[in-house]
Amino acid sequence: MTTVPTAREGSVGTAHTRVEGREKVTGAARYAGEVRFADLAHGWFVLSTVARGRVRSVETAGVLAMPGVLTVLHHGNAPRVDTGYIGFLGVPPDPSCAVFQHDRVPHLGWPVALVVAGTSEQAREAAEALVVRYEEEPHDTVFTGERPDAYDVDGHVPAVTGKGDLEAGLTASAVVVDAEYSTPEEHHHPMEPHAATARRDGGRLEVVDSNQGAAWVAGDLARLFSLDPASVRVRSEHVGGGFGSKGIRAHQVAAVMASTVLGRPVRVVMTRRQMFSLAGHRSPTAQRIRLGADADGRLRALEHRSVSATSTVYEFVEPSASVARAMYDAAAHHTANRVVRLDVPTPTWMRAPGEAPGSFALESAFDELAEKCGVDPIELRARNEPERGPVSGLPFSDRGLLACFREGARRFGWADRDPRPGLRREGRWLLGTGTAAASFPVMARPSTAAVTAEADGTFTVRISAADIGTGARTALTLVAADALETGPDRVRVRIGDSDFGPAMIAGGSMGTRSWAWAITAAAAGLRERLAAGTGVPPQGITVRSDTSAAVDALPPKERHSYGAQFAEVAVDTGTGEVRVRRMLGVFAPGRIVNPLTARNQFVGGMVWGISMALHEEAVRDAASGGHYGADLAGYHVATHADVPDVEAHWIDDPDPDDPVGIKGIGEIGIVGAAAAVANAVWHATGVRHRDLPIRPDRVLLSGAPGV
Amino acid sequence: MKEFAYQRAFDVPGALALLDAGSDARFLGGGTNLVDLMKAGVERPARLVDVRGLPLNRVEPTADGGLRIGATVTNSDLAAHPEVRRRYPALAQAVLAGASGQLRNMATVGGNLLQRTRCGYFTDVTRPCNKRVPGSGCPAVEGEHRNHAILGASGHCVAVHPSDMAVALTAFDAVVSYETADGPGELPLTEFYVPVGDTPHRETSLPRGALITGVILPPAPVAARSRYRKVRERASYAFAIGSVAAALDVEGGVVREARLALGAVASRPWRARAAERALTGARADGEAFAAAADAELAAANPLPRNAYKVALTRNLMVAVLTGLAEEAAR
Amino acid sequence: MAPAPSPAYSSVTLDVNGDKHTLTVDHRTTLLDALRERLDLTGTKKGCDQGQCGACTVLLDGHRAVACLQLAVAAEGRAITTVEGLADGERLHPAQQAFLDLDGYQCGYCTPGQICSAVAMIEEHAAGWPSAVTDDIRPEAGPPPLTADEIRERMSGNLCRCGAYVSIVRAVARAAAVRAESTPTTVSTRTERAPA
């Protein structure tokens, strides 16, 4: 097959089924726990049953005598690791991953031992039989917004911003909204549990893992175990979802320890129950918003304060109060993110960290302000469009928010909406509609890539990218094809291997943008080499790129994706049931590489919003300090029957500063989605739900009009 | 999970003999609850006797116009059976409201009756639980009990029974038939489940070593107009937070006969006899339905965080009865 | 590996995708683990190992079931079909093709379970089985139209955390339509068992 470069239509922007689709639908795609290893042993975690204290003893003798048991690792015998480093993401590692280093128990579900046996059945039974004795101390696990010990902490964004006189602004306002919102502890629960197999082969450490960045995990393992980075290889070919939870975690470290001790490959897989304390989670938040506006809805004062929880071993802040820093301006504008330390596992990044819970509160408060002002919620947002970054003062790279609202309102039929609540009934259901705005920062991180022109006329791209379900492998194939002026069928993209060099992780909606940049740069270099016309030798011609300089040279601007979310809900106030009947999102998301997979990802984010609004909540038992109902029957995520025909659309919105025009689409879909649902519930019933999830008991007790 | 022996039974006497041949053995049906509890460490049998292959997989009409349902009939087959859908539609609806298509294909009628509570303290072996370890305490009373009992509970246990099917069976006066080494026996479902009292670990009055062989549904013309409705915290694939099985016979605007059973309110499916008494002979209208619901729920004794269940169950009863009355009037 | 004979182990013959495999299993071994760890059939996924996600859905005698709650030793004598057994050589099963074409997945981990579930669910529907959202469950009413709501309810035992439900439902509808075209008649209204 030949292609004529000058006549070719670009691949970017046209729908392509996933390049690994056939493997995924036939079951041939192998995930981390499925790669064969000879002489494999199985490790099973033993987790603490107390929420705070010390391990007094680990009584291994009986367990070591059980069939098939090879070893029991614990703080008394495990290899030492070093956590005193700054990791791949520019922060020290959460020491929760450094298992078995001391006898302290900082939360219930802390790993206290790893039992390794010849089969998983033997390991499981021995782990269950292992007696661990504790010196238990009183624990403190109850999160509230009123904790006096909450303090400011800078996370991936600054803790506090402020300008103007807030109290004066509120006093001068014709309309004031002052409301408190809460979101519960939420868990990622990718369908594939975290799994790693480690093998020491001479001086090499090889790990097959499920993660969001093979180079990230390899780098951290090298630092933890004081190994030459070049001797550590992490592969992560197919990843069954991540959502922020699949970084460096206890299972990889324990597997490396056990394989080091035993001299044979060891696999460690988290059980679903164990994931509740080992895989990270989104902290609960307690938020207070005060909005002061003129009668026409123009803001004079905005305050957003949020408290979240972290563990006693690491500071992680869920920066929910930061949303307004890019969204809405006011002469008095104050935001603050605070944390409280509890005897709980360390939370971590979870899809739209900060923006997801923060937008629920802020966009609910805006709906309340619209109601109070008697202004249409979309018009209210239009009246509060900032000219520059409200906090940064920087110009916006572009701002597609109102274009999203216009297109969304047209498609959703918003113009016909009667703003009065509680008026529409269909059988036992009260109906309502709601809307909310969305934004998510657009960023890029340095990455490296290698592109090879093969002697047979095809191309191979190697980059340590991760496809956690985003469609990155396919998107990068299309990007590479265009950059190489060839067809996607002539491009092989290999990802998920730390040997391919440093690259951004799949996170922060930055993966595809950062990787595409590196591939584009390498491809450009390769085309120059090929244009020189010396022919391709049998080993091919490879050109490498490193985008560090280019990414660092990005001029400072307010860069964001935007979206407008719309939801229609039905509420049975007699039973408390809430059903989302219709959901529609329109996004300004940068250039869309693959419409097929991009739509799916937007919709997936919106489904997360439905799930967040109505279902998700990890319940912590105050007495034990651990979870109640720690499984997928206790922690509900939306299933098929909860999800209507969700629609996602986008406007033409290429990023002017990105070589491909990409912004990033992984997170924007969830932002504002829960608020749109909650606002629709208000419109249906006349009752505001400021605490998520909107459970049947909450609807029943909220005093909404009965049947 | 500890090691265990496994044996397959091919007929009822064989199953009973195998179970009797040693201690600490359990019958294995579909395994959807038992295997799960074994993984959780809640059940640790030394031996399993697989009864799934017993010739008890038929749904047959009885001479008097009822149905006999074999113990190994799967939930799916029960719900799909034409006579069940025709004569006892609430039973088919109840079964379809439970679990998932996969689990309904595996689960058996006998196992469904014996499934254990989904209380999160019961399924977590690191926590006290009077049902699992008698005398160890019940953390739910002071702890998480949003989905716990409002009727018939005791301070020893406030867990609820998880079955949907059993709620409908209870409304229809189902009788459990069983075999023991000493011969067969029968237990009305309302006596099959015992009050929780101070022995929450003792859930049924089934004799030790007995094998459930089936369920007999007596003839119940009223059941032809029956309905099951279930409320849960997501739209499907979740346990009930409230459910109602109801049947109503209305003539001339007056209730001739009513059957009502409630789910997710007690340690067992709850036959709402007070409501049935209030309904019988009453006008089939919303006022009477509400009065009947109130009559039943007068005994409700909710915990601090599950009082919503009283309102939910009341509203559900009224809604289901209203729907049936409207249907009768058409 | 197994110290057979022991009361805790048995030799079983599993019929998987038409192939017979005889192996000695620890009685604790679930069908899921036997497929994945012993037979290297890793298409069947372990998402929760508790019957709460559907990722391990396989067909037993044509009926969908979760392999994580099925003991391997108890699966002897049953025809087991996994995702690896659906395609006809290189030709994908219509359900597989529909999932691929309509992007009925993201990460792919729940996908084999969704596909196996869909294949069996379509047969259940064709056999006249009602669902929890079927308005009229009387046998005389016949099978309800396989609407999106019917598909959603019937597929609800398969969680997809990526939230690809919308495209999964479309893929299932397409697979059902393909089946209906290839099987023009014989939709029974009186079926006590779904066809295998």
User: What's the complex ipTM?
Assistant: 0.97
Residues of C whose CB is below 8 A from B89: 137-138
The CATH class of the A5-30+445-552 domain is alpha beta
Question: Do both C67 and C131 map to the same domain?
Answer: no
Q: Is C129 within 8 Å of B76 when comparing Cβ atoms?
A: yes
Contact criterion met (CB below 8 Å) for C104 and C119: no
User: Does the residue B74 lie in any domain?
Assistant: no
Residues of A whose CB is below 8 A from C168: 640
Phi first, then psi, for residue B191 (nearest 5°) are -105, -20
Q: Is C106 within 8 Å of A28 when comparing Cβ atoms?
A: no
- Mean pLDDT over the full length of chain A: 96
Residues of chain B in Cβ contact (below 8 Å) with chain C: 1, 3-6, 8, 28, 30-32, 35-36, 39-40, 48, 50, 52, 59, 76-77, 79-82, 85-86, 89, 92-93, 96-97, 99-103, 105-106, 235-237
Residue A510, Cβ density class (10 Å: 0-12 exposed, 13-18 middle, ≥19 buried): buried
Residue linked to tokens 């002469």: A331
Q: Give percent above pLDDT 90 in chain A.
A: 96
Among all residues of chain A, which has the CA nearest to that of C108?
Answer: A24
User: Does the residue C187 lie in any domain?
Assistant: no
Q: Is A579 within 8 Å of B235 when comparing Cβ atoms?
A: yes
User: Does the residue B245 lie in any domain?
Assistant: yes
**Would you state the pLDDT for residue C6?**
78
Q: Is C130 within 8 Å of B106 when comparing Cβ atoms?
A: no
pLDDT at A587 over 90: yes
Confidence band (pLDDT; 50, 70, 90) for C96?
very high
| A356 Cβ under 8 Å from any chain C Cβ | no
CATH of residue B35's domain is 3.30.43.10
Structurally, how many domains does chain C consist of? Answer: 2
CATH 3.90.1170.50 fits A36-138+189-278, yes or no: yes
* Whole-prediction pTM: 0.97
User: CA–CA separation, C11 vs A63, rounded Å?
Assistant: 27
Q: Which residues of A141-152 are buried (b: 16+ CB within 10 A; e: fewer)?
A: bebebebeebee
Q: Is B144 within 8 Å of A575 when comparing Cβ atoms?
A: no
Q: Judge whether A5-30+445-552 and A393-442+557-707 match in fold.
A: yes
Residues of C whose CB is below 8 A from B27: none
- Residues 6 or more apart whose CB falls under 8 angstroms from that of A680 comprise A432, A433, A434, A567, A568, A569, A580
pLDDT in tens, A336-356: 999 999 999 999 999 999 999
pLDDT at A373 over 80: yes
Q: Is B105 within 8 Å of C65 when comparing Cβ atoms?
A: yes
A-B Cβ pairs (cutoff 8 Å, strict): 98
Shortest Cα–Cα distance, C52 to chain A (Å): 6
Instruction: Please provide the DSSP assignment of A581-599 as one string.
Output: EEEEEEEE-B--S-HHHHH
Query: What average pLDDT score do residues A398-413 get?
Result: 98
Q: Per the structure block, which two tokens stand in for A58?
A: 């680990």
Query: What average pLDDT score do residues A171-189 get?
Result: 98
Q: Is B101 within 8 Å of C124 when comparing Cβ atoms?
A: yes
User: Does the residue C127 lie in any domain?
Assistant: yes
Domain final residue, candidates C85, C104, C122 = C85
CATH of residue C103's domain is 1.10.150.120
**Would you state the pLDDT for residue B23?**
72
Q: Is B319 within 8 Å of A700 when comparing Cβ atoms?
A: no
Structurally, how many domains does chain B consist of? Answer: 2
Query: What average pLDDT score do residues C94-102 get?
Result: 98
A-C Cβ pairs (cutoff 8 Å, strict): 182
User: Does the residue C52 lie in any domain?
Assistant: yes
Helix/strand/coil for A218: helix
Confidence band (pLDDT; 50, 70, 90) for A704?
low
| A247 Cβ under 8 Å from any chain C Cβ | no
Among all residues of chain C, which has the CA nearest to that of B39?
Answer: C50
Residues of B whose CB is below 8 A from C11: none
CATH of residue B289's domain is 3.30.390.50
Question: Do both C99 and C176 map to the same domain?
Answer: yes
Specify the CATH architecture of the domain A393-442+557-707: 2-Layer Sandwich (3.30)
Phi first, then psi, for residue B215 (nearest 5°) are -130, 135
Shortest Cα–Cα distance, A700 to chain B (Å): 7
Query: What average pLDDT score do residues A565-584 get?
Result: 98
Q: Where are the alpha helices (DSSP H) in A41-189?
A: 61-64, 120-129, 166-171
pLDDT at A358 over 60: yes
pLDDT at A1 over 50: no
| B308 Cβ under 8 Å from any chain A Cβ | yes
Q: Supply the range of the domain harboring residue B268.
A: 224-329
Residue A469, sorted as left (phi over 0), alpha (psi -120 to 50) or beta, turns out to be left
**Would you state the pLDDT for residue B22?**
67
Question: Do both C23 and C61 map to the same domain?
Answer: yes
Among all residues of chain B, which has the CA nearest to that of A641?
Answer: B235
C73-B212-B35 Cα angle (round to 5): 35
Q: Is C100 within 8 Å of A18 when comparing Cβ atoms?
A: yes
pLDDT at A83 over 60: yes
Where are chain A's structural domains? Answer: 5-30+445-552, 36-138+189-278, 393-442+557-707
Residues of A whose CB is below 8 A from B320: none
Q: Is A624 within 8 Å of B126 when comparing Cβ atoms?
A: yes
Residue among C9, C70, C125, C129 with most chain B CBs within 10 A, to mutate: C129
Contact criterion met (CB below 8 Å) for A449 and A463: yes
User: Does the residue B102 lie in any domain?
Assistant: no
Query: What average pLDDT score do residues A298-314 get?
Result: 98
In this complex, which of C50, C73, C157 lies closest to B102 when CB atoms are compared?
Answer: C157
Question: Do both C15 and C78 map to the same domain?
Answer: yes
Shortest Cα–Cα distance, C183 to chain A (Å): 23
**Would you state the pLDDT for residue B39?**
96
Domain final residue, candidates C85, C117, C147 = C85
pLDDT in tens, B119-154: 999 999 999 999 999 999 999 999 999 999 999 999
Q: Supply the range of the domain harboring residue C134.
A: 94-182
Shortest Cα–Cα distance, C90 to chain B (Å): 28
The catalytic site residues of A sit at 667
Closest to B236 measured CA to CA, from C107, C130, C131, C136: C131
pLDDT at A572 over 50: yes
